[in-house]
Structure formats: structure tokens, C-alpha cells
């Protein structure tokens, strides 16, 4: 289906809808991409749902670490559902148009859930810090009430700021074009379509990114510096291996998510390119939710044991 490119005249925005170009530059791969993304989406839904079920049903997994893992799996399902269904719709119908309101809604939910993921990963690192560095106080510090408060705080803390940032971005006039060279409504490609000086908005994006990406990442680094120091001081190699195995899965997810997100939102605008943005976005929107169940199940003996018990009951 041919999409119409719209330009606004003067400084008054006449753009009422955008066009998500997505993977339209690969016309011969549309059917293959739709099959691949459908399989990926179903795998993410089933894998993360399974993680939630086993953490709820297995008595051995009734621990703070797995409570946060269940929250993380729930988040990944929500997070990927903001972008992947739209990608699939565009591939199936070849209708890539999206209204201004739908685009703003998608961006808002994407940013809110992205902020939640940053905070939740920081909370999970704090949980590992207390468990490894202060094991005697762990049951007292990470009690059920504290776990619920940390989880709720992670889910809701970013909501007002990200609603405000979305409103600020979509209050701009869009006169350059209505073609978004991306597969979802993300900040960098939207700002490229705005007319006039967007430097104030770019500074705002950097400030929010520092708050929701850099600060949690620094807290994670602080936690893991203490964790690694404590692990290295353990007297036996077996003890060190066991302690590290409880946090290695989380550390791998942190590297995948924060690495791609940091490069996307904190690098200079002059270094942005559509191809690089799409590739990086695939990592933190699709690859991390896809790998999450595999990373945690394959590297965690308790999760493997719970999966076996669940499967043997069938």
C-alpha cells in the first residue's frame, strides 16, 4: 500500500497522522519478517508467562529474588506488547499509518515501561546486594512489605514524568515530514520531524534519560562493586561460584538493556542514524524480553528444578 508523505506549511502543523516506515526498505522480506516477529512475540509471551507461573506455584521460589523476577517477566510482556503488535499489524496489512494520538500513546507507554525496567533492574541488584553482602539481615531487610513497596515504586515512579515528556514532545509542530523512519514512535525519530529549534526538548530528553537510565545504572554499578568485592573475599572457590551464579543472570540482562538504551538516548544527535537506532531499539525492545526467560532458566538451578516439577505434573 502506497503511503502518502505529508509536509506542513509555515509553522502550523497540518500533520494529523504519521507513517511508520519500519522495515519497508526490505520489501522482499515482509512475509518472512511477519513470520519471524510472530514467532518471537509468541515466544516472549509464553516464556515470560511460564516464569510468572512457576514463581507463583513453586514453594521453593517464594523468595524476594523470584518475586522481582515475576514482576520483571510481567513487565517484559507489557513492554513488548507496546511495540510488537503494531509491527505485526504494519507487516500484515502494509498500512503503516498511525494517528497522532496513537503515536503519542505508544510513546508514553513505552517510556513509562522503559523507566519501570530501569528501576526494577536497580531494585533487583539491591536485592542481590543485600543477599550476598548482608545475608544475616536479608530476611529482615527484604521482607514482603519492603518487596511490594519497591516493586510498586518501580512501576509508578516514571508515570508523571513520562506523561509530561510525551506531552512536551507532541506539543511541537511537525512540518518537516510525517514519515517516521522507525518501527515505533520513539523520541529521536519524532524530534527529527519537528520544525524549529528543538534544543530545549533535546536537553529535556537528556535530563530525563539521566534520571531514569544513568541514575539506576550507577546504583547497579555501586551494588555490583560491593557484590564483587564480597564474592572475591569468600574463602572457597565453591562459595564464590555459588554467590556469583545468583547474580550473573541479572548482570547479563543489565548489560543488554542498559548498553543499547544508553547508546540510543545519551549519544549526540549528530551521531543518530535511522539504521543504528532501529538495530539498537531491537535489542532493548525485543531481544531482552526474548532472552530473559532463557537467561534466568538456563543459569538458575531453582528455576530449572521448578520447571521440571511443573512439566512432570502434566
Q: What average pLDDT does the segment 3-14 reach?
A: 51
pLDDT digits (tens, 9 = 90+) for 97-140: 999 999 999 999 999 999 999 999 999 999 999 998 898 999 99
> Considering only CA atoms, which of 229, 110, 101, 68 is closest in space to residue 170?
101
In this structure, the number of other CB atoms found within 10 A of the CB of residue 191 comes to 17
Q: Per-residue pLDDT for 92 more than 80?
A: yes
pLDDT over threshold 70, residue 304: yes
Domains of the chain in sequence order: 17-312 (1.20.1070.10)
Residues 6+ apart with CB under 8 A from 9: 175
Q: What is the pLDDT of residue 34?
A: 92
169-207: pLDDT as tens digits:
998 888 868 888 888 998 888 988 888 778 888 888 888
Least confident of 27-41, 125-139, 142-156, 262-276: 262-276
Q: Please state the rounded mean pLDDT for residues 81-86.
A: 93
Q: Is the pLDDT of residue 232 over 60?
A: yes
pLDDT in tens, 254-287: 888 887 777 766 666 555 566 677 777 787 788 8
Q: pTM score, two decimals?
A: 0.86
Q: Model confidence at 11, in pLDDT bands (50, 70, 90)?
A: very low
98-103 CB contacts, 8 Å cutoff, 24+ apart:
98/17, 98/18, 98/19, 98/20, 98/185, 99/16, 99/17, 99/18, 100/15, 100/16, 100/17, 100/18, 100/170, 103/18, 103/170, 103/180, 103/185, 103/190
Amino acid at each position: 500500500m502506497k503511503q502518502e508523505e505529508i509536509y506542513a506549511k509555515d509553522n502550523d502543523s497540518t500533520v494529523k497522522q504519521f507513517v511508520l516506515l519500519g522495515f519497508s526498505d526490505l520489501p522482499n522480506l515482509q512475509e518472512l519478517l511477519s513470520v519471524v516477529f510472530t514467532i518471537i512475540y509468541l515466544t516472549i509471551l509464553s516464556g515470560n508467562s511460564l516464569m510468572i507461573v512457576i514463581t507463583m506455584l513453586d514453594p521453593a521460589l517464594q523468595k524476594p529474588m523470584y518475586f522481582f523476577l515475576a514482576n520483571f517477566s510481567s513487565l517484559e510482556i507489557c513492554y513488548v506488547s507496546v511495540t510488537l503488535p503494531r509491527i505485526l499489524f504494519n507487516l500484515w496489512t502494509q498500512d503503516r499509518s498511525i494517528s497522532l494520538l496513537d503515536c503519542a500513546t505508544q510513546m508514553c507507554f513505552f517510556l513509562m515501561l522503559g523507566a519501570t525496567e530501569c528501576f526494577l533492574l536497580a531494585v533487583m541488584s539491591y536485592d542481590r546486594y543485600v543477599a550476598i553482602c548482608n545475608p544475616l539481615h536479608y530476611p529482615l531487610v527484604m521482607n514482603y512489605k519492603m518487596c511490594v513497596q519497591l516493586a510498586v515504586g518501580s512501576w509508578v515512579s516514571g508515570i508523571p514524568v513520562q506523561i509530561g515528556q510525551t506531552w512536551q514532545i507532541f506539543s511541537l509542530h511537525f512540518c518537516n515530514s510525517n514519515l517516521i523512519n522507525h518501527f515505533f514512535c520513539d523520541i529521536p525519530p519524532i524530534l527529527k520531524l519537528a520544525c524549529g529549534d528543538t534544543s530545549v526538548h533535546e536537553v529535556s530528553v537528556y535530563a530525563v534519560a539521566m534520571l531514569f537510565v544513568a541514575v539506576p545504572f550507577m546504583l547497579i554499578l555501586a551494588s555490583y562493586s560491593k557484590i564483587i568485592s564480597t564474592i572475591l573475599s569468600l574463602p572457597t572457590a565453591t562459595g564464590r561460584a555459588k554467590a556469583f551464579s545468583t547474580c550473573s543472570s541479572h548482570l547479563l540482562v543489565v548489560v543488554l538493556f542498559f548498553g543499547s538504551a544508553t547508546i540510543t538516548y545519551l549519544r549526540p544527535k549528530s551521531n543518530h542514524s535511522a539504521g543504528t537506532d532501529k538495530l539498537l531499539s531491537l535489542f532493548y525492545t525485543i531481544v531482552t524480553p526474548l532472552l530473559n526467560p532463557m537467561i534466568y532458566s538456563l543459569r538458575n538451578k531453582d528455576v530449572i528444578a521448578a520447571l521440571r516439577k511443573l512439566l512432570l505434573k502434566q
